[in-house]
Chains A and B, each alone.
Chain A
Amino acid sequence: MTAKIALTDVHKSFGTKDVLRGVNLQVETGQSLVVIGGSGSGKSVMLKSILGLLTPDRGSIKIDGRETIGLARRGRADIDHQVGMLFQNGALFDSLPVWKNVAFRAIQNDGMGESDARDLAVDALKRVELGPELLDLSPAALSGGMHKRVGLARAIASKPEIIFFDEPTTGLDPIMTDVINHLIRNCVQELGSTTVTITHDMTSVRAIADKTALLYKGEIIWQGTTEELEGSDDPFLNQFINGLAHGPIEVEGQKLDTAPNTIEAV
């Protein structure tokens, strides 16, 4: 069976900095994949490469078996129609009210009228447990949590087959984090979408992942199910999920020793 999304030997460099160094990853239809990794590990570059916002230097990215690298604009548009994306900070359009943000794709691409677009926005907002009183507000008037939920409503409004989440809970309090995680899980189950989430929040991983992959220095160094994640003795994974300062993972600009997590006497 063809994977919904398949990355094979994907490389991407910026100048002399190699960000992706041969990423290999597969996401099956209906699966929720969470990619974890520290800051600067290449998570966002990988996501933007799949979305077509960046062009990899080499390798292959297939969606439904169709190669997306080097695809002409029209072909890419066909793929974009199947995709929803929740950006880290929501990326709502400041110049448009909430309802036009949520129904943006339907208005611009399908020529949907105002009345139908407002109905669509009300329905999408309801899925993320927000009421119609927000419809005419400007994004600037929303709190951080609402911003994320409106962004989620926009991502799912067109009922996409694939949804990407870029650090969906970053900057939120623990309660709002839990709310967002449950909304993501519920929306995905209702829509039956395939999802790719990038995060370094282990609470989100445990709440929404069917499969987890650890990206380190531009390569997937571990992948497995949530059960395998908890039982793994991989030193890189253990350091990351337990948030240890010491271990094999090098922190940006600084190499920490590989000794156990102890504070040595000076």
Chain B
Amino acid sequence: MTFLATIGAFFLAFFAQSGRLSVFVGQTLAAMLRPPIYFRIIGQQIIRIGYFSLPVVALTSFFTGGALAIQIYYGGNQFNSEAIVSSIVALGITRELGPVLGGLMVAGRVSAAIAAEIGTMRVTEQIDALTTLSTNPHKYLVAPRVIAATICMPVLALVADIIGIFGGFVVGTQSFGFNAAIYVQRTINFLTVDDVTSGLIKAAVFGFIIAMMGCYNGYYSKGGAQGVGRATTNAVVSASILILAANYLMTALLFSA
């Protein structure tokens, strides 16, 4: 009976959490579409989420591009097909690794920061204060962060694409002696616009997920400093899992057609 009760409690908690998240997303979408829209706060968040994430995304994608080139070179070597390094690096970075790894890195940095900030506002009654000052917290706090992250992530993914391909280029030309001009030419010839845009669409969805998980976990945090810490951890974990799940679904959707 205790075992069944535990299972029941788990499912009840799961459905309650899912329902609360759905309502939160609905309220946020409504806040994003209806005025007032706080453009100044959106601008500030674009700087915080996008601009300050550039170094971490650039470094991650550079090293990933380089490592990918090494793996493909030695893997392809067994079949005398080293020449595919440039094409596979470009494909792998633009379709998958650029948006996904960029998304995961930004989730770690931004989702945690948003959850900590909004969580602290919750436990210090600043969110209640916003409401009593006739300001909708969804419009003032949540919508600007979600809009900013959804705008920034495709730009960051594009930067990740360029730098990741460049990382592969550096390793290919410096370590394996590929001709630079031929490497670039093969990359350009193989890559299609769809490869890049599919990654950018994914990145926009990841940006929405990252900000939403940060805001949601922060907004419902409780229990003082410990609660804020828990919200921060939950924000990063839930954003990371949802990014990977959404990536699978979108890949299946975009490339099965």
The residues of A with any CB-CB pair to B shorter than 8 Å are 48, 51-53, 73, 77, 80-81, 83-85, 87-89, 91-94, 104-105, 108-109, 154
Contact = CB atoms under 8 A, between A and B. Distances in A.
B131 A80 contact: yes
Contacts of B134: 77, 80-81, 105, 108-109
A169 B136 CA distance: 28
B131 A53 contact: yes
B63 interface: no
A interface: dominant SS = mixed
Contacts of B125: 87-89, 91
A85 B140 contact: no
Interface of B: 36, 120-121, 124-126, 128-136, 140
A73 B134 CA distance: 10
Contact of A52 (B36, B126, B131, B135): B131
Contact of B133 (A52, A73, A104): A104
A108 B125 CA distance: 19
A45 to B, nearest CB: 13
Contacts of B120: 94
Contact of A93 (B36, B129, B131, B132): B129
A80 B132 CA distance: 6
A91 B131 contact: no
A254 B135 CA distance: 41
Contacts of B129: 85, 87, 91-93
B135 A91 contact: no
B35 to A, nearest CB: 12
Contact of B132 (A73, A83, A94): A83
A83 B132 CA distance: 7
B222 to A, nearest CB: 12
Contacts of B121: 93
A108 B136 CA distance: 10
B138 to A, nearest CB: 10
A89 B132 contact: no
Which of B128, B129, B131, B133 has the most chain A CB atoms closer than 10 A to its own CB?
A: B133
Contact of B126 (A77, A84, A93): A93
Nearest to A158: B133
Given A89-B124, A91-B124, A105 B131 contact: no
A88 B128 CA distance: 12
A80 B131 CA distance: 8
B128 A105 contact: no
Nearest to A111: B36
Which of A87, A89, A93, A108 has the most chain B CB atoms closer than 10 A to its own CB?
A: A108
Contacts of B130: 93
A160 to B, nearest CB: 10
Contacts of B136: 73
In the A-B complex, the 3 residue pairs with the smallest Cβ-Cβ separation, listed nearest first, are: A91-B129, A91-B125, A85-B132
A92 B130 CA distance: 10
A109 B128 contact: no
Contacts of A77: 134
A91 B140 contact: no
A53 B125 CA distance: 11
A84 to B, nearest CB: 8
Contacts of A104: 133, 135
B202 to A, nearest CB: 31
A80 B36 CA distance: 17
Contacts of B140: 108
Given A48-B128, A52-B131, 4 more contacts: A83-B132, A93-B129, A93-B130, A104-B133
Nearest to A164: B132
B133 A105 contact: yes
A104 B126 CA distance: 12
A193 to B, nearest CB: 14
Nearest to B126: A91
Contacts of A80: 131-134
A108 B130 CA distance: 10
B223 to A, nearest CB: 14
Which of B36, B120, B126, B134 has the most chain A CB atoms closer than 10 A to its own CB?
A: B134
A52 B130 CA distance: 12
